[in-house]
Amino acid sequence: MRTIVCVKQVPASNEVRLDEKTNTIIRDGGEAVINPFDSHALEAALALKEQLGGTVAVLSMGIPAAAEMLRQCLARGADEALLLTDRAFAGADTLATSYALFQGVEQLGDFDLLLCGKMAVDGDTAQIGPELATRLGIPHVSDVFSLECSGDSVTVQRELGGCVQTLRLPLPAVLTVTRELNVPRLPSIAGVLRSETVEIPCRSAAQIGADEAQCGLKGSPTQVVATFLPQRTREVVELTDTAALLPIIKGGAGLGTGD
């Protein structure tokens, strides 16, 4: 059983910093972590390896610092890692991101299962998994909370509008998974020691044979034209004088309006 897991590095807090010129996320600096949903995808892959044998590869597109996140995946039990990192990948929308990851998957070779998180907590689109499946021409199911694999098929469950849908797919297939799937394990001491000696392979667009016109900002048909934080317009007025309070209540100014 060969499983590839797509893992994305995301900001550790909700305070996402945006570049005012390009309207893209500033990914350098700031604390970063593995996208929480991807941690559950990795756990599922490791559990399948324990059950059926085989290998787990982790794949990411990101800044060079994302190599440390991949190292943590190796410490948890992944066998192989690949980081796609290049200025040419910067500013990618989901189409350009799935193109680069598709090229990365091709580099990693044949696989049975490709696992992604349900969504990335910074971009939030939930499009990469389905786009990858489309590019690979294989079936996919999103929002999976339970999975069982046999030699040539996978049976999954997902919640759909209040009911549970059970589906069986032939392998290879792409699944995007939810937090309910499992509890991610911590790295073992042996795993940490082993991962520290490994050099994480980093590849540029040219090295994976990607067409630069389809990567990053150049390859992104959707572009963010403006980003802003919503202005807070609510005002807190402290009323201490009952006489002054009455006309306000009668007039309803600023009270009971939901503002």
Ligand X SMILES: Cc1cc2nc3c(=O)[nH]c(=O)nc-3n(C[C@H](O)[C@H](O)[C@H](O)COP(=O)(O)OP(=O)(O)OC[C@H]3O[C@@H](n4cnc5c(N)ncnc54)[C@H](O)[C@@H]3O)c2cc1C
Q: Which residues bind ligand X (CB under 6 A)?
A: 6-8, 25, 35, 37-38, 60-62, 92-94, 97, 101, 116-117, 119-120, 122-129, 222, 224, 227
Cα atoms in the Cβ-side hemisphere of radius 13 Å centred on 151: 0
Neighbour-count burial of 195, counting CB atoms closer than 10 A to its CB (0-12 exposed, 13-18 middle, 19+ buried): buried
DSSP for 46-105 reads HHHHHHH--EEEEEEES-TTHHHHHHHHHHHT-SEEEEE--GGGTT--HHHHHHHHHHHH
Shortest CB 163 distance to ligand X, Å: 24
Positive or negative torsion for Cα 108, 113, 114, 120: negative
Coil, helix or strand for 208? helix
Cβ closer to ligand X: 113 or 128?
Answer: 128
Task: Please enumerate in sequence order all residues whose Cβ is within 8 A of that of 254, keeping only pairs 6 or more positions apart, or say none.
Answer: 235, 237, 248
In the complex, minimum distance from the CB of residue 242 to ligand X, in angstroms, rounded to a whole number:
48
Token pair for residue 251? 């007039």
Closer residue to ligand X, CB minimum distance, 144 or 197: 144
Given the complex with ligand X, which of 94 and 195 has the nearer CB atom? 94
Q: Of 213 and 249, which has the nearer Cβ to ligand X? A: 213
Which residue's Cβ lies closest to ligand X?
123
- Distance between CA atoms of residues 52 and 8, nearest Å: 26
Cβ proximity to ligand X: between 138 and 224 the closer is 224
Least separation in angstroms between CB 35 and ligand X: 5
Least CB distance to ligand X at residue 18 (A): 6
Residue 247 CB, shortest distance to ligand X, in Å, is 45
Please identify, using beta-carbon distances, which residue of 92 and 181 lies nearer to ligand X: 92
Q: Rounded CA gap, 148 and 168, in Å? A: 9
Min separation Cβ 44 and ligand X, Å: 12
